[in-house]
């Protein structure tokens, strides 16, 4: 692969990780730097798109006759509002803190080489976690202080993109939650041992990875 | 695998046989997506009234063809696809009535961004100024989570053409940050 092709691919999908591209990035410092710049730009593009643009009204709205849907939906939803607000407020905080944590650690997306197995085990051990298998290559592994506990913060290289995984043995969620914030999309799923958060800055099968991590996760008998 | 919106006959309304509880669930599901759909439509159309109409019409279409939604987990992509198609329809129909971006900015001015991050503010303006051929795939990819192949299918382009458009869109935005733009040797787009 030549640099021009590599940069076109990176420009189209900054977090793309095809084998050929990964090999090129290993050998070409300039293109690797270009990818880092593009990933950073993409985070900002996501942040920019996060809120809708406050553009003006260009023309008259549709007649009220077409607004039946809104009225019907409002009536149906009225009864659900209180419960929804309560649930969202509880869950939004965890999602928000996860995003803030990941955004504050941008170097986590710069890893290209697989983390040595011993290093990964050490990170997991600090939180009393074992992974029976590690789906895809783990290119970043740190034990991070999050909500009063050390938790494994991993980045895995999937065929689609880099995906962040945080194993949260001390956080319980009742059901799957999804969120979009600061240019990141994520899901938090309940696991046998707390919960698992999976986040990415691009389209990625988050639920599939969360499920694989959930199935692989075990707890140590005597965590350190 | 996503299922994409079909265009069922209008006569399917009221003949679906779905019970009230299922209708309530799908109403909640659709309505919970409204902010996402409106944001998507706003970035596509750059016009609030048009975006609201697009979302309104899209939700009606989605409701009529709700039985085509086999997997609720795919509902976001399904609804976004309907919004994009509805926008394309209205865009074609109403393009002469639309205000230019300059007009929109004259009215709203700095209200485009109320935050204090000037880089992001500039980026938002730059994205709005991208022509629709670059803005649309970028928004579909970043906001919608569509893959290159899905965008290609939806826009009736080749995957290679979508890659080129996405590359060019980001390349234009790079300049905002004073970054060197990558050489654009991709030439003309390949046919689908």
How many whole angstroms separate alpha carbon A153 and alpha carbon A165?
6
How many whole angstroms separate alpha carbon B18 and alpha carbon B136?
35
**Which residues does residue A153 pair with via DSSP β-bridges, in sequence order?**
A142, A166
Please give the structure tokens belonging to residue A33.
């730097």
pLDDT digits (tens, 9 = 90+) for B66-79: 888 877 778 888 99
How many whole angstroms separate alpha carbon A151 and alpha carbon A166?
7
Does the structure show a pLDDT above 70 at A70? no
ipTM above threshold 0.95: no
Per-residue DSSP letter, A60 = P
Whole-model pTM: value is 0.56
How many whole angstroms separate alpha carbon A223 and alpha carbon B132?
55
pLDDT digits (tens, 9 = 90+) for B129-187: 899 999 999 999 998 888 899 999 999 999 999 999 999 999 998 877 666 666 766 55
> What strands lie across the sheet with A137-146, from one edge to the other?
A137-146, A149-157, A162-168, A194-200, A184-191, A177-181
Supply the CATH classification number for the domain B1-98. 1.10.1740
CB proximity B47 to A under 8 Å: yes
Q: Is the dihedral of CA A76, A81, A84, A88 positive or negative?
A: positive
The four Cα atoms A150, A152, A155, A157 give a dihedral, to 10 degrees, of 180
Does the structure show a pLDDT above 70 at B98? no
Q: A51 to chain B: which residues are within 8 Å by CB?
A: 39, 113
At A117, is the secondary structure helix, strand, or coil? helix
Q: Which residue of A has its CA nearest to B128?
A: A53
Kindly report the backbone phi and psi dihedral angles of residue B25, in degrees, each rounded to the nearest multiple of 5, phi listed first.
-60, -45
Chain-centroid distance, C-alpha A90: 19
Domains and CATH numbers, chain A: 3-50 (no CATH), 81-219 (3.40.1000)
- How is chain B split into domains, by residue range? 1-98
B171/A11 touch (CB, cutoff 8 Å), yes or no: yes
How many whole angstroms separate alpha carbon A169 and alpha carbon A149?
9
Per-residue DSSP letter, B116 = S
CB proximity B130 to A under 8 Å: no
Q: Which of B56, B147, B173 sits opposite A41 (nearest CB)?
A: B173
How many whole angstroms separate alpha carbon B138 and alpha carbon B119?
18
Q: A54 to chain B: which residues are within 8 Å by CB?
A: 108, 111-114
């Amino acid at each position: 692969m030549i640099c021009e092709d590599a940069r076109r691919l990176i420009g189209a999908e900054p977090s793309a990780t095809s084998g050929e591209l990964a090999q090129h990035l290993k050998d070409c410092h300039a293109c690797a730097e270009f990818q880092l710049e593009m990933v950073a730009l993409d985070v900002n593009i996501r942040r920019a798109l996060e809120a809708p643009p406050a553009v003006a009204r260009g023309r008259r709205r549709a007649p009220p006759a077409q607004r039946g849907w809104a009225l019907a939906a409002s009536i149906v939803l009225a009864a659900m509002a209180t419960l929804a607000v309560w649930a969202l407020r509880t869950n939004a905080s965890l999602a928000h803190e996860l995003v803030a944590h990941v955004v504050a650690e941008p170097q986590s997306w710069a890893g290209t080489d697989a983390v040595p197995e011993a290093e990964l085990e050490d990170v997991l051990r600090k939180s009393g976690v074992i992974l029976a298998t590690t789906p895809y290559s783990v290119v970043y592994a740190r034990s991070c202080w999050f909500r009063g506990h050390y938790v494994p913060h991993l980045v895995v290289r999937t065929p689609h993109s880099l995906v962040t995984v945080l194993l949260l043995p001390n956080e319980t969620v009742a059901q799957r939650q999804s969120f979009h914030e600061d240019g990141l999309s994520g899901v938090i799923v309940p696991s046998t041992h707390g919960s698992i958060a999976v986040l990415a800055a691009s389209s990625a099968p988050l639920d599939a990875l969360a499920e694989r991590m959930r199935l692989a996760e075990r707890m140590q008998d005597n965590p350190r | 695998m996503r299922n994409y919106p079909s265009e069922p006959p209008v006569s399917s309304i009221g003949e679906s046989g779905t019970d009230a509880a299922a209708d309530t669930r799908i109403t909640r599901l659709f309505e919970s997506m409204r902010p996402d759909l409106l944001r998507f439509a706003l970035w596509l159309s750059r016009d609030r009234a048009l975006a609201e109409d697009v979302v309104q019409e899209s939700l009606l279409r989605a409701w009529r063809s709700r039985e085509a939604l086999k997997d609720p987990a795919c509902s976001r992509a399904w609804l976004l696809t309907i919004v994009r198609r509805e926008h394309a329809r209205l865009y074609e129909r109403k393009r002469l009535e639309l205000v230019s971006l300059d007009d929109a900015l004259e009215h709203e001015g700095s209200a485009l961004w109320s935050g204090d991050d000037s880089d992001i503010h500039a980026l938002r303006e730059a994205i709005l100024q991208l022509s629709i051929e670059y803005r649309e795939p970028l928004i579909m990819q970043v906001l919608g989570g569509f893959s290159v192949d899905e965008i290609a299918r939806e826009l009736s382009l080749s995957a290679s053409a979508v890659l080129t458009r996405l590359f060019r869109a980001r390349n234009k935005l790079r300049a905002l940050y004073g970054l060197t733009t990558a050489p654009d040797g991709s030439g003309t787009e390949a046919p689908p």
